Structure 1
Amino acid sequence: MSSIHHGTPGSPGGDTAAGATPLGGDQAEEELSLEEAIHRVEEAEHEGRPPVAGTLSNVLTAAAVVALGVAALVGSGRLGLGTLRSPEAGTWPLLVSGALVLLGLGLLATARRTTDAERFSPASWLVVAGLATMVVFVAVIEVIGFEIPAALLAFVWLRFLGREGWRTSIVTSVGVVVAFYLLFVAALSVPIPHLF
């Protein structure tokens, strides 16, 4: 007569339900270490990031975008809009201004829930520098046309603000100007100041 040994549940020879895995200490430690790893990844993502802006900052930023868009809409109307078949100088600024207003309203609607906006920091001066180059661009475009100012603007933004390579910055700047020229001057005959 052979003797059958029934060990305790969870032991090597013990009775366990089919397909069931006993939860031992090693597995519990493994689950804890997984949660800890996820927590460490989340902490690493937030390290080095400037403090998050509050609701008031988000509302003010959205209001500034809307105000800029409305001001640009007014300026577009003064340039002349034309029609779809024969657009005038204000057509493209009108489209961009309308998009700005819509984006600003979207920012305003999500101001309380937005957590990816940052407080003003030394890195924010890059935005100020970008706006300053836009002001210079607008000031000189009437004098020397859009080609040279647009190429310089794109180059400065790519190379110095975006930290792209020299070759990428030069090729992209020239490509952008050629594309704009072919679309707005050659194809649509938009009366914007140009050299050629």
Structure 2
Amino acid sequence: MITSWRRRQESEETREETAAVPGRPEGTGRPEGTGTPGGPGDDEAVTGEPTGPGPGEPDTAEEPAPPPAGPVTNLVVALVIVALGAAGLVGSWSLGLGGASAPSAGMWPFLVSAAITCLGAALLFQAKRTGDAETFSSSSWLVLGGLATMAAFASLIGVIGFEIPAALLAFVWLRFIGRESWLLSTLTSLGIVVAFYLLFVAVLAVPIPHLF
């Protein structure tokens, strides 16, 4: 008799605990739709949302951003930009500017160099206040490589024309900096040169150095 009374009491306590937890059917100690207790399905059954990437899905967790460069690095970068712009101004002036109605070969490079110089000066005045720049890392070498190819382009355009340097510049930027395929980089670089030639040489008759 005592044993039967204890069994009835334990059965009633079990039913009360089960009814106190929403989503649990009578006679079970776990929510519906779950596997083993503490397994990956427990949190998903309670919240109704998956707790991690599904099968075959990449993990989209964001990587921590690199620390800011700091005022000293910002100052050095601004000075380098101003120096590059000033060098472009001198080189463009040596090619000749011409006039608004008849621009010479150095007109457009001069305007671009002037814009670069002004932007560098603006960065120079904001070197201590800006926090957008990132510290130097391995990816920064791509920026230096891009600047080196632009310098090579500027030094070769007056010697062999713009066609070959422009094609090489576009190819290097697309293939090695943009990580595009070999075929797309080749076709796009050739298309850019053809479009520039038709626009500036054939249509506008801009006197820029060219081979053909």
TM norm structure 1:
0.69
Matching residue within 79, 90, 93 for 1:74: 90
**In the aligned structure 1, how far is the partner of 2:96 from the partner of 2:155?**
19
Match of 1:32 in 2: none
Gaps of 5+ in 1: 1-43
Amino acid across the alignment from 1:74: V
Deviations 1:30-72 (A, max 9, x none): xxxxxxxxxxxxxx6561x333100111122112111211221
How far the C-alpha of 1:116 sits from its partner, in A, is 2.3
Residues 77 and 105 (structure 1 numbering): CA distance in 2 closer, same or farther, change over 3 Å?
same
Looking at structure 1, the residues matched to 152 and 88 of structure 2 have their Cα atoms a distance apart, in angstroms, of 16
| 1:126 paired to 2:142 | yes
- Paired residues of 1:50 and 1:118 also in contact (CA < 8 A): yes
What is the match of residue 51 of structure 1? 67
Shift in CA distance, 142/80, structure 1 to aligned 2, threshold 3 Å: closer
C-alpha separation between the residues in 1 aligned to 2:151 and 2:88? 13
Match of 1:174 in 2: 190
1:191 to 2:201 alignment: no
The number of equivalent residue pairs is 152
Point out where structure 2 has 5 or more consecutive residues left out of the alignment.
1-60
Measure the CA separation in 2 of the matches of 1:67 and 1:178. Answer: 32
Runs of 4+ in 1 over 6 A off after TM superposition: none
Q: Deviations over 1:163-182 (max 9, x none)?
A: 12334322321222122212
Flag the structure with more relative contact order, 1 or 2, with Cα contacts below 8 A and sequence separation at least 6.
1
Quickly say closer, same or farther: Cα 1:136–1:64, change in 2 above 3 A. Answer: closer
C-alpha RMSD over aligned residues: 2.0
Counterpart Cα distance in 2 of 1:147 and 1:83:
24
Gap change, CA 1:133 and 1:119, over 3 Å in 2: same
Map residues 128-167 of structure 1 onto 2, 5 A cutoff.
128-167=144-183
Query: What CA distance in whole angstroms lies between the structure 2 residues aligned with 1:68 and 1:180?
Result: 24
Task: Name the TM-score, length of structure 2 as normaliser.
Answer: 0.64
Q: Give the AA of the match of 1:120.
A: F
SS class of match (2:139): helix
Counterpart selection for 2:106 from 86, 90, 105: 90
Q: Give 3-state SS (helix, strand or coil) of 1:122's partner.
A: coil
Please tell me the residue identity of whatever aligns with 1:133.
Answer: T
Q: For the residues of structure 2 that align with 1:135 and 1:70, how far apart are their CA atoms? A: 13
Greater C-alpha Rg: 2
Match of 1:100 among 116, 120, 125: 116
